[in-house]
Structure 1
Amino acid sequence: MAITLYDLCGRDERLRFSPYCWRVRMALAHKGLSFETVAWRFLEKYVLAFADYDKVPVLTDGDTVVTDSFEIMRYLDRTYPDAPMLGEGASFQRVLFFKHFVERSVTPALFRIVAMDLLNAIHPDDRAYFRETREARFGARLEEVHQPEQGRQQLKQALAPVRELLRESPYLDGEAPSGADYLLFGSLMWAYTVSLEALVETGDPVDAWFTRMLNVHDGIAGNAITVRDL
C-alpha cells in the first residue's frame, strides 16, 4: 500500500520544518518504509478535511488514515512490527514520559531561540495566522518571546539528563536510534531547519548526537533543505 505523509512546508515548498512531521519521517525511515509527502500550509485546513483533523502530520496508508505524530508512531509499530520503536508495558510508559518531557520542556526553550526565524521561514500568506495564534498562546508578542540567549540557557538546563545519558551511549535508545531519539530529534531538527542560531555548545554530547542523527537512515535529515540552502 502507498504511504503518504501530509507535511508542513514553509516559504519554499521544499522547506519542511514541523517537529512532529520530523518524528514521523524518522520513524518511517527507521521502519525502512517508502513514502511520499504532500506539502501543506497552515491555512490549508480544507485539504485535511478527509482526516477530520486540522493540522499535520496526517498519514495515509492505503485506506487507513492516522493523525497525531505519536499515534502515527504507534500505528507503525503495530502495523510494521519489525524494528519496534516504542516498546510495550514499562518501556512504553518511559517513552511516553519522554514525549511529554520534550514537548513541555525542550520545545518551549527552542521556540525562544528561533521564534522570529520561524516566522520568517513560514510562507508569507501564513504569517499573520501564525503570529496571532502563537501570541495568543504565549500571551506576548513574538518579538518579546524571541530571547535566544535565555532560550539556550533554558535548553541547556532541560537537556542535562539527556547530556549525561549521551556520555554513556551514542543514542538515547542505546547503540542505534529509536523512538526516544526521534522524539527529541524532531524538535531540534525543527529549530535547525529554520534558524542559524546555535542550539547547544560545540563539544556538547547533544551536539555530537544531533550530528549522528543527521546521518542515520541514509541521511534523510542531513540531506533535507534548510534555511542555509535558500
Structure 2
Amino acid sequence: MTRKLYSLCGSDRARPFSPHVWKTAMSLAHKGLDFDTVPIGFTEIPAVEDGATRLVPLLRDGERLVKDSFEIAQYLERNYPDRPTLFGGDGAMAIARFVEGWSQTTLHPAITRVIIRDIHDRLDPVDQAYFRESREKRFGTSLEAVAESGAASLETFAQKLEPLRHMLKFQDFLGGATPLFADYIVFGAFQWARIVSPQRLLHSGDPVTDWFERCLDLHGGLGRSVTAA
C-alpha cells in the first residue's frame, strides 16, 4: 500500500516547507510507516483529491483520506497501535493540545512576521500573487510592513521560547527521554523557518537549539533531508 502525503512547496518542489506537513512527516517516520511526498503549490490545493481539503497536510492511507496534522496523528495512533506511540496516553494527548495552542498562537505568528517575505520569494508567480493577497488581507497591511515588524521583533524572539527552554533543562524532549507528537508540533515551526529563510531564530548554547538539532537527527536524519536556506 502506497501512502501519499500532500506537501506544500515553492518553486523548488524538492523543498517542502509547511510546518504542519513536517509534523505529519515526522509522525509517519515515528511510526515506521513508508510514504510518498506529493509536492503542490498553494493554488493547487483546491484540486487535490477532488477538492478534499483547503489546507495541507492531507494524507492518503489506502482508501482513507485524513487531513489536519493533529487528526492525522490521532488516526495513526488508533490505526497503528503496534507501532511506537505518538502520545503515550490520553494525558499526553491533552498536553499536546496545549502545546499546539501555544505554538499556533505564540510561535507561528512571531515566526511568520520574520520569514514572510522569504516565503513569498520562494513561490511560483501564481502562488506569490495568492500569498500576497491572502496575507495582506490577514494582516491588514503590506507584506513589506509585516516583514519590517518581524525584523524589529527578532531581538525579543528568544523570550517567547522561555517555557520551552525551561522544560528542556530537565529532559531531552518534550516527550521526556524520547520524542512524542508534542515535539513534532514545535519542530515543524522551526523547520519551516530553517527551510525558507536565512534568518536564524536559534543560537548556540540555547537548550532549544540543542533540542532542535536532536530532532533534525531523528528517524535517520529526516529533518536534514532538506538543507537549510
TM-score with structure 2 setting the length: 0.94
Does residue 116 of the first structure (1) align with residue 117 of the second (2)?
Answer: yes
- Distance apart, 1:97 and its partner CA: 1.0
The aligned residue for residue 85 of structure 2 is: 84
Does residue 7 of the first structure (1) align with residue 7 of the second (2)?
Answer: yes
- Name the amino acid aligned to 1:71: E
Give the distance between the partners of 1:149 and 1:205, measured in 2 at CA: 23
Q: Tell me: CA distance 1:85–1:51, structure 2 relative to 1, closer, same or farther (3 Å).
A: farther
Unpaired stretches in structure 1, ≥5 consecutive residues: none
Give the distance between the partners of 1:126 and 1:226, measured in 2 at CA: 22
* Cα shift readout 1:80-107 (whole Å, capped 9, x = no counterpart): 1221112443322111111111011001
SS, match of residue 117 in structure 2: helix
TM-score with structure 1 setting the length: 0.93
RMSD, aligned α-carbons:
1.5
Give the distance between the partners of 1:135 and 1:41, measured in 2 at CA: 19
Give the distance between the partners of 1:18 and 1:154, measured in 2 at CA: 24
The aligned residue for residue 219 of structure 1 is: 221
SS, match of residue 53 in structure 1: coil
Does residue 102 of the first structure (1) align with residue 84 of the second (2)?
Answer: no
Unpaired stretches in structure 2, ≥5 consecutive residues: none
Does residue 24 of the first structure (1) align with residue 30 of the second (2)?
Answer: no
The aligned residue for residue 158 of structure 2 is: 156
Identity %: 39
The aligned residue for residue 48 of structure 1 is: 48
- Distance apart, 1:156 and its partner CA: 1.7
Alignment of 1:123-202 (within 5 A): 123-146=124-147, 147-202=149-204
Structure 1 runs, 4 residues or longer, greater than 4 Å off = none
